[in-house]
A and B are shown apart, each in its own frame.
Chain A
Amino acid sequence: MNAMSMTSSRSLLRLLTCGSVDDGKSTLIGRLLFDTDNIPDDQRAALERDSRKYGTDGANIDYALLVDGLEAEREQGITIDVAYRFMATKRRKFIIADTPGHEQYTRNMATGASTAQLAILLVDASQGLLTQTRRHAFIADLLGIRHIVLAVNKIDLIDFDQARFDAIADEFRALATRFHFETITPIPLSARHGDNVVHRSARMPWHGGPTLLEHLETIEPGGTSTGPFRFPVQWVNRPDADFRGYAGTLAGGEVRPGDEVVVAASGQLTRIARIVTADGDRPAARAGEAVTLTLADEVDLSRGDVLASPGARPDVADQFAADLVWMGEAPLLAGRPYIVKLGTATVSGVVSRIKHKVNVNNFDELAADSLTLNEVGSVNVALATPVAFDPYTLNPRTGAFILIDRMTNATIAAGMIRHPLRRASNIHRQALTIDRTAREALNGHRPAILWFTGLSGSGKSTIANALETRLHLLGAHTYLLDGDNVRHGLNRDLGFTDTDRVENIRRVAEVAKLFADAGMIVLVSFISPFRAERNMARELVEPGLFHEVFVDTPIAVCRQRDPKGLYRKADAGEIRNFTGIDSPYEPPEAPEFHLRTTTAEPDALAESLLAALRPQLGLGL
């Protein structure tokens, strides 16, 4: 036994309960807390009162009420969100996450599982393994949990039948061969009556294994090997000109003053000067410790960067393959930009490909073009900038990420990186010598992207045309991108589903970016109904370059104008997914220019746009 595992012996165990709805997870945790004397007298009294009011077991104590702490949970008799409970026995401390079994709340189960070392997977003995049992086993495995207690509960309902218990345990073992569990410990128990939870049951003399508590108190979850040195910079600490420290938590390995380290993304090498803490400088720091490092050289290093061991570097790439647990109410759309949080780095990224999703009942891989709430799938992710990471199985702290929705700010996916995708890393970004400044000097004006958005028939193209004519007369280099020249060529393969609309705009934005980089003033005239994509276009280019022009025309007016007869067709059901009719339009929240076409003519609007833009474009003459 090495020194690490010796100090961690019998230290804190983090676990969760999971399994299908009503299998008795909360009852089990309540029972465990109760029978280990972790419930103070005043809470016991409250439990008796609550049991009479909300209990599901007549006048008897309903132990689930100790953990189901929300009013809605007590009223409905189900668990909705994770409860974190703390238990101490003479032998060990425990942090227990009691998670919901209901499929709708699978993401809350994943929340509890993400920090656990052991899972108690409950099965109702009278029902056997259910879809949720399989799903939770799958997610526990995916998240890296290596120890499973198969708690075969409600054994009282099947008369403490050993044969039935053995059958369930065998079925689970067979199904788990595909997983990576190191221990699977089946225990027959009754949470309601307390059999084999803390006290050995006299009603199941045939059970030779441990009680639940015995097992939890003695299991060695194993020194999670954290691999080589990894230090994601969390915060740059600069109290004065003399001190520059990098604060963060070691995500892997060990480090000492004098050690050579590398800034993963840039490849710059330096040495650790000091390991600073409020309790004095330290001779070494290990994974899990929160410290502040100072370096021997001045290197370019900020939040989101990773310091690593030069002999064992993390991957640095802008594309990787990963497993995703989808948690969003809205489905995953390939190509839609999301926020990716990976370690301390936050970058923009898209799911570039959905390879398959998993049928949690038989673990079959199914072709998929989207993932919906609680689905698990395998995908490729592409980021706006390269980041440092490791495969999740090598180091969960540097291999895990979440996706955040740009509009709702909701956490919509948990991701586990499998491996980098090398294609991109061989195409080195050339630092070109003719840069934009050089082209600007030649052109005599600055580039810009003027992004016209609005309903069909709102007047985008008319105004954009009027503006382009004026710019041209002033000697500006311009180009107009609209449906006619893009939809028919570059985007010929795309239709009008949400996924295709996202991809359509992504391509247009990339093209606009290239034109702007070439020094041109680009006028983009697309309905572009979704805020997320317009924001993505904005974020593709440096601040100040992108101007959103909202051509605001009420739908009634557009319908009346109907220059291409499209509304008539859409109303007649001849066109599907028509913006404003059966596909939504999300108006800009803070456009640079807001044009109301019902109160001014297109020429006047173009004129006022030009007046406002001239100074910024350097078209002052």
Chain B
Amino acid sequence: MSVTETATATLDADLAALEAESIEIIRETAAGFRNPVMLYSIGKDSSVMLHLAMKAFYPAKPPFPLMHVDTGWKFREMIRFRDETVKRLGLDLIVRHNAEAAARGVNPFDYGASTYTQVMKTETLKAGLDELGFDAAFGGARRDEEKSRAKERVFSVRTAGHGWDPKAQRPEIWNLFNTRLAPGQTMRVFPLSNWTEADIWNYIARETIPVVPLYFAKERPVVERGGQLLMVDDNRLPLNPGEVPQLRKVRFRTLGCYPLTAAIESEAETLEAVLAEMRASRMSERQGRLIDHDDAAAMEKKKREGYF
């Protein structure tokens, strides 16, 4: 065996182990809960999670629907990709949107990122879970994304109001997941807990999983604000005086609401180039997420309130 062959074999073994672990978690959720749902956010992690769910129950379809919380400010390419994916795989998709708040004028500009996220994402998600009676919800979060996520269990109990109590987590020993809930409680389940960003991209490459084209570099209309590049995805983005969208070759490392997700300048048009760029990067992936920067404990706070 040559050195590169050994490296490939090791990569394959590591990815295969992660895949098996995630499939086990997904099956355990299907077996342990009355009414699970998979939160599908269209990004690369969701794409991997969905792919694993398809594998877990093959030749059957996953025995749960997908749910997308649509804030109304997703990139248009994301929505197109979402609808194509659901059609291609023949799955049920539930879309939840807080039309009432949108009509009231709640948007990322007039309300500030955190209030907007709270209303359009967290509250909409909680209402969706409650109204449809889901007792478990899969999320594609990974522990390597952020320091409070690094603290969360794979099976994470949420209180009746969907809050997370980080100081009272159940011990999670071996692969013996405790799926029992008291009335009113729900479970968040994170099958990708032990994956890193590099694992995700390596797996996407190995399995040729389709992802939203926004992850690859292309000339796109952007404006520069506070050192961040924002894509002008439609004409709802209010331009500051003198601001003119310019075409720049950019891509995204994570995808969210377009006014809250910064692009990076990049030449990476292919998966190989994306992988190479990620390896060389000195910045973390969440750097482009405008909502995480409020303060050191921003994510923990949001999770306590019911955010994923």
Contact = CB atoms under 8 A, between A and B. Distances in A.
B166 A289 contact: no
Contacts of A410: 170
Contacts of B20: 249, 288-290
A235 B287 CA distance: 40
Given A84-B143, A277-B58, A42 B167 contact: no
Contacts of B28: 234
Given A235-B27, A397-B174, A402-B176, A276 B150 contact: no
B175 interface: yes
A614 interface: no
Interface residues of B, number: 58
B194 interface: yes
Given A7-B13, A12-B17, A327-B171, A84 B193 contact: yes
Contacts of A111: 171-173
B151 A81 contact: yes
B199 to A, nearest CB: 9
B173 A411 contact: yes
B61 A85 contact: no
B132 interface: no
A235 B173 contact: no
Contact of A400 (B23, B143, B174, B281): B174
A115 B171 contact: no
Contacts of B281: 40
Contacts of A327: 171
Given A42-B283, A277-B58, A290 B173 contact: no
Interface stretch (B49-57, B110-118, B214-222, B228-236): B49-57
A237 B178 contact: no
B104 interface: no
A108 B171 contact: yes
A247 B198 contact: no
A135 interface: no
A272 interface: no
Contacts of A361: none
A70 interface: yes
Given A71-B300, A95-B194, A249-B24, A7 B31 contact: no
**10 closest A-B pairs by CB:** A69-B147, A239-B60, A278-B58, A40-B284, A290-B23, A409-B180, A278-B55, A290-B20, A107-B171, A114-B173
Given A276-B58, A289-B16, 18 more contacts: A69-B149, A70-B151, A70-B167, A71-B300, A81-B169, A83-B150, A85-B144, A86-B196, A249-B175, A278-B58, A279-B55, A289-B20, A290-B24, A327-B171, A396-B174, A402-B178, A410-B170, A411-B170
Interface of B: 1, 6, 9-10, 13-14, 16-17, 19-20, 23-24, 27-28, 30-31, 54-61, 143-144, 146-151, 166-167, 169-176, 178, 180-182, 193-194, 196, 198, 281-284, 287, 296-297, 300
Interface of A: 6-12, 40-43, 46, 49-50, 53, 66-67, 69-72, 74, 80-86, 88, 93, 95, 107-108, 110-111, 114-115, 234-235, 237-239, 243, 245, 247-249, 276-279, 288-290, 292, 303, 327, 339, 341-342, 344, 396-397, 400-402, 404, 408-411, 414
